[in-house]
């Protein structure tokens, strides 16, 4: 799998971003608060449009019409998952969500940073999980990932 961004502009936050990520790569997305890290992940999911440039996955354009097809090939770990109080069938803690994403077998993982600080042991476990999925050949685009192969600064 190959994910390519060509001169992508998204609102006021991201302007002219280009990058390529291939199989077995962990790419860290970093930047100041409000720089567009989560916005970029939501755009890759097809929830937000690009205002300029284009995104392709395996050479096919990501568009509002193609996004549902591509989402079937992705796993997404949000900053936090909010569910109704009486709903207990879905894990909501960050590490459990990350484990579910890794175990999904998807070849593209989009991982936002947790909304609350992780302990040192939790950070180590998150790093281990991300490396596990990368070793399987998946692409991981993770906000503020440690031990990344490359970093995209927004």
* Confidence class for position 24, pLDDT limits 50, 70, 90: very high
Question: CB under 8 Å to 86, separation ≥6 — which residues?
Answer: none
Domain-wise residue ranges, the chain: 2-153
**Least confident residue range of 48-57, 86-95, 109-118, 126-135:** 86-95
Distance CA 125, CA 110 (A): 17
2-153 — its CATH code?
Answer: 3.40.50.300
What tens digit of pLDDT does each residue of 136-151 get? 999 999 999 998 999 9
Would the pTM count as exceeding 0.75?
Answer: yes
What tens digit of pLDDT does each residue of 107-130 get? 999 999 998 899 999 999 999 999
């Amino acid at each position: 799998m190959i994910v390519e961004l060509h001169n992508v502009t998204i609102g006021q936050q991201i302007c002219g971003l280009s990058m390529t990520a291939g199989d077995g790569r962990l790419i860290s997305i970093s930047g100041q608060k409000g720089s567009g890290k989560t916005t970029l992940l939501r755009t890759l999911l097809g929830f937000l449009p690009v205002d300029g440039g284009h995104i392709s996955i395996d050479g096919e354009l990501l568009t509002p019409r193609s996004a549902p097809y591509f989402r079937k090939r992705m796993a997404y770990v949000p900053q936090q998952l909010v569910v109704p109080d009486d709903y207990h069938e879905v894990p909501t803690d960050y590490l459990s969500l990350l484990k579910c994403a890794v175990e999904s077998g998807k070849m593209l993982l989009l991982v936002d940073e947790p909304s609350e600080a992780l302990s040192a042991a939790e950070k180590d476990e998150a790093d281990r999980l991300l490396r596990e999925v990368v070793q399987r050949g998946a692409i991981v685009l993770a906000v503020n990932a440690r031990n990344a192969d490359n970093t995209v600064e927004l």
